[in-house]
A and B are shown apart, each in its own frame.
Chain A
């Protein structure tokens, strides 16, 4: 393929970047999730009992894995692309014959690579605490891949508009983290009062977490096909929006 070398260059550069700084990128999720499993799963979970036939520890594992995938796919693209803008070495790519879709694909794949690697680290840690009965591996893999892609795309938009390092932490702190926690990571929405159940259905992360939970342990609060449709729809929307931003040069061309 004509642009395969340029694409590979961006992806490998991204992978080298986050593996070079592994104490910042790979170690923290390992520690954080260990604490989640220890505190929520083991200490508190034993008192909560089963949810829909699964132990509390087993129930929260898919959500905790996907929450890490979401935050790290997003964080990788937003921090890397913003730094590239900030240090002006985005110009290295802009002056080269690399089409916008290759730039976007390269950075998004870099984000997905980090998301998946973090997902594997968290999965490995969860196996120290509980067994994961895999219900449908293909659904689980498809969900994790699509979710990671979606949030890498969202991170790219954040990086394009960001004009300071503060601006790249606002969305993760004030939007992504609350939506993840309220997306049914630690509970089933059926446990909520009816009004909060309806409000929760407006949270797209709820669908992804439940679809992933279905793939791993066969339990879900939502329709799986609808969850795939929502994720796919958002991906398409964000790809179009990102390509429009790159075409216009928003945030990267004077």
Chain B
């Protein structure tokens, strides 16, 4: 069954700005799905429409076969949303925020207390349940929003940049929590600007740009398309001139940092042999950028070029 099915979704804001230009998208039940795109691409508009926060101009949306136009309340009951911006009442306690949210979903007080305990423990916030939410740290606030979105046991969890602004340690622990939620059977749609996050967590991916879906495929097949790896080499000594090595593209980034583009069909051994011949000693090497980041940039740049020319 499809967790989400979107057809010909359009949104034109007052003033004529066309945020979505008839997108179609399918997300399978149980998937961990990445919805990526640059700022202003239309991701948040699409999420806003799915979650009934934004009125659509036209198109259809089905969540677990329930039509948003006909069964809006059923669709809402299936979805849990973690929005981009902190949007809970800063004067309420952590526990009250979850109890209220459960109440809006029609969950009885007794069951709501039970679900609140489970969700807060899962997000490691149980010992903070009586804390007024504005006193939480940034990472805790983000986890609170995930706990709140889970309190009614949604079948589809939408995470709109859930780790924005949190440090890498907390981000990684949040990844584990999100994996756990997905493993329990909840379908997850993730938008993020940390492409490493999408590559680590998601099995399928769509890239949206200028209101269009420019890519929609399996993460593995998308990454397989990347035919060049980019490395940064840390050199023992500075070099006066960048050597020319056939099959490789080299560029000096700083005094002792050399950028190298290595096509998939080229051997790294050959690169190092050629560098040795030129008396260049390499102390260490690392990937220049995240693999998905490179693909993302290629796709978005390509789409922007098309957009300008059309």
* Residues on A facing B (Cβ under 8 Å): 2-3, 5-6, 8-10, 13, 20, 84, 87-89, 91-99, 249, 253-254
Contact status of A88 and B85, CB under 8 A, knowing A95-B53, A254-B48: yes
Q: List 5 interface pairs A-B (beta carbons < 8 Å), by A numbering.
A: A3-B106, A88-B83, A94-B52, A254-B48, A254-B55
Docked Cα-Cα span, A6 to B148, in Å, equals 16
Docked Cα-Cα span, A2 to B77, in Å, equals 13
Q: Among residues 43 to 58 in chain B, which have CB atoms less than 8 Å away from a CB atom of chain A?
A: 45, 48, 51-55
Which single residue of chain A is at the shortest CB-CB distance from B88? A89
Docked Cα-Cα span, A249 to B52, in Å, equals 10
For A99, the chain B residues whose CB sits under 8 A away are 73
Does B287 reach chain A (CB closer than 8 Å)?
Answer: no
Most buried by A among B55, B81, B87, B100: B100
For A10, the chain B residues whose CB sits under 8 A away are 104
Contact in complex: B55, A91 (CB < 8 Å):
no
Contact in complex: B105, A253 (CB < 8 Å):
no
Docked Cα-Cα span, A94 to B88, in Å, equals 13
- Which of A5, A6, A8, A92 makes the CB contact (< 8 A) with B88? A92
B235: shortest Cβ distance to chain A, in Å? Answer: 51
Contact in complex: A13, B100 (CB < 8 Å):
yes
Docked Cα-Cα span, A84 to B91, in Å, equals 11
Contact in complex: A254, B13 (CB < 8 Å):
yes
A98: shortest Cβ distance to chain B, in Å? Answer: 5
Top 9 nearest A-B pairs (CB, nearest first) are A9-B103, A96-B104, A97-B73, A88-B87, A97-B76, A97-B77, A5-B106, A89-B89, A95-B51
- Which of B54, B74, B81, B89 makes the CB contact (< 8 A) with A97? B74
Size of interface on B: residues with Cβ below 8 Å to A: 33
Does B108 reach chain A (CB closer than 8 Å)?
Answer: yes
For B170, the chain A residues whose CB sits under 8 A away are none
B104: shortest Cβ distance to chain A, in Å? Answer: 4
- Which of A2, A87, A91 makes the CB contact (< 8 A) with B106? A2
Which single residue of chain A is at the shortest CB-CB distance from B109? A5
Does B79 reach chain A (CB closer than 8 Å)?
Answer: yes
- Which of B53, B74, B91, B104 makes the CB contact (< 8 A) with A254? B53
Docked Cα-Cα span, A254 to B45, in Å, equals 9
For B79, the chain A residues whose CB sits under 8 A away are 95
B144: shortest Cβ distance to chain A, in Å? Answer: 12
Q: Mark B252-269, 1 if CB is under 8 A from A, else 0.
A: 000000000000000000
Contact in complex: B53, A253 (CB < 8 Å):
yes
Does B270 reach chain A (CB closer than 8 Å)?
Answer: no
Docked Cα-Cα span, A119 to B119, in Å, equals 41
For A84, the chain B residues whose CB sits under 8 A away are 89
Q: Among residues 172 to 222 in chain B, which have CB atoms less than 8 Å away from a CB atom of chain A?
A: none
Contact in complex: A93, B104 (CB < 8 Å):
yes
A83: shortest Cβ distance to chain B, in Å? Answer: 9
A3: shortest Cβ distance to chain B, in Å? Answer: 7
Docked Cα-Cα span, A104 to B79, in Å, equals 23
For B81, the chain A residues whose CB sits under 8 A away are 91, 95
Which single residue of chain B is at the shortest CB-CB distance from A96? B104
Contact in complex: B106, A249 (CB < 8 Å):
no
- Which of B45, B83, B104 makes the CB contact (< 8 A) with A98? B104
Which single residue of chain A is at the shortest CB-CB distance from B54? A254
Does B90 reach chain A (CB closer than 8 Å)?
Answer: yes
Contact in complex: A6, B103 (CB < 8 Å):
yes
Q: Mark B54-88, 1 if CB is under 8 A from A, else 0.
A: 11000000000000000011101101010101011
For A8, the chain B residues whose CB sits under 8 A away are 103
B214: shortest Cβ distance to chain A, in Å? Answer: 24
Docked Cα-Cα span, A8 to B106, in Å, equals 10
Does B107 reach chain A (CB closer than 8 Å)?
Answer: yes
Does B101 reach chain A (CB closer than 8 Å)?
Answer: yes
Contact in complex: A6, B104 (CB < 8 Å):
yes
For A91, the chain B residues whose CB sits under 8 A away are 53, 81, 83, 87
Which single residue of chain A is at the shortest CB-CB distance from B99? A9
- Which of A5, A13, A89 makes the CB contact (< 8 A) with B108? A5
Docked Cα-Cα span, A154 to B88, in Å, equals 26
Docked Cα-Cα span, A99 to B73, in Å, equals 8
Contact in complex: B53, A5 (CB < 8 Å):
no
Contact in complex: A95, B55 (CB < 8 Å):
no
Docked Cα-Cα span, A150 to B123, in Å, equals 43
For B83, the chain A residues whose CB sits under 8 A away are 88, 91
Docked Cα-Cα span, A94 to B101, in Å, equals 11
Contact in complex: B76, A96 (CB < 8 Å):
yes
Docked Cα-Cα span, A39 to B72, in Å, equals 57
Contact in complex: A92, B104 (CB < 8 Å):
yes
For B100, the chain A residues whose CB sits under 8 A away are 9, 13, 92
For B103, the chain A residues whose CB sits under 8 A away are 5-6, 8-9
For A254, the chain B residues whose CB sits under 8 A away are 13, 45, 48, 53-55
